[in-house]
């Protein structure tokens, strides 16, 4: 079974965080939700989220993928956390998947993971990053890096993550139960 880390920072986008966590768990993927610090994380719209563990505890384990929810200032808080940058570099160096949505692709860029890659983000967050080929697609996969646009694409993003980790059949199984049009 795949194991995924979803780090939560103060000011994260709740639609993205909850959608990613929920859909991956529906697919039977082991999701570890980690707060940058101990306690409740207050998301960008005031929703309170309860992480499973702190990031320090989560970093004691290995993961197949790290998925970064966006939102502001959540994505900036992830970008400013040296532990996150080190983890993303380690994941990339070991051939593991990294993924980010909305403003969070800027964290991947900060770690050097978007150099020479095609990616997408919420408008404006990757515009000034050299070496990135911007796309307006809802979800972009370039090698082991997946990016997505924002809250409205969170479900498409989570389903794409399921397909990468567990295959097209599992994605279809989860998606059909959601009754998407």
Extents of the domains making up the chain: 3-171
**Quick one: which H or E segment has residue 166?**
helix 154-166
The pLDDT, as a whole number, for residue 128 is 84
3-state SS class at 92: helix
Strand partners, 8: 35
Instruction: Give the active site residue among 6, 58, 102, 140.
Output: 102
Is residue 85 within 8 Å of 70, Cβ to Cβ?
A: no
The pLDDT, as a whole number, for residue 181 is 85
The pLDDT, as a whole number, for residue 179 is 96
Architecture field, domain 3-171: 3-Layer(aba) Sandwich (3.40)
What are 129-162's pLDDT values in tens digits? Answer: 889 999 999 999 999 999 999 999 999 999 999 9
Let me know if 12 is a catalytic residue.
no
- Distance in angstroms (rounded) separating the CA atoms of residues 44 and 65: 24
């Amino acid at each position: 079974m795949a194991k995924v880390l979803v780090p939560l920072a103060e000011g994260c986008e709740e639609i993205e965080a909850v959608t990613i966590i929920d859909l991956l768990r529906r697919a039977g993927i082991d999701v570890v939700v980690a707060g940058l610090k101990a306690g409740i994380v207050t998301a960008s719209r005031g929703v309170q989220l309860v992480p499973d563990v702190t990031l320090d505890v989560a970093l004691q384990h290995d993961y197949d993928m790290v998925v970064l929810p966006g939102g502001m200032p959540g994505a900036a808080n992830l970008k400013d956390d040296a532990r996150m940058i080190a983890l993303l570099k380690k994941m990339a160096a070991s051939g593991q998947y990294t993924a980010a949505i909305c403003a969070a692709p800027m964290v991947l860029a900060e770690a050097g993971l978007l150099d020479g890659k095609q990616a997408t983000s919420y408008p404006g967050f990757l515009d000034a990053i050299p070496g990135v080929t911007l796309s307006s697609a809802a979800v972009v996969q370039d090698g082991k890096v997946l990016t997505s646009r924002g809250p409205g694409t969170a479900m498409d993003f989570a389903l794409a993550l399921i397909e990468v980790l567990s295959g097209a059949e599992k994605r279809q199984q989860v998606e059909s139960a959601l009754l998407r049009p």
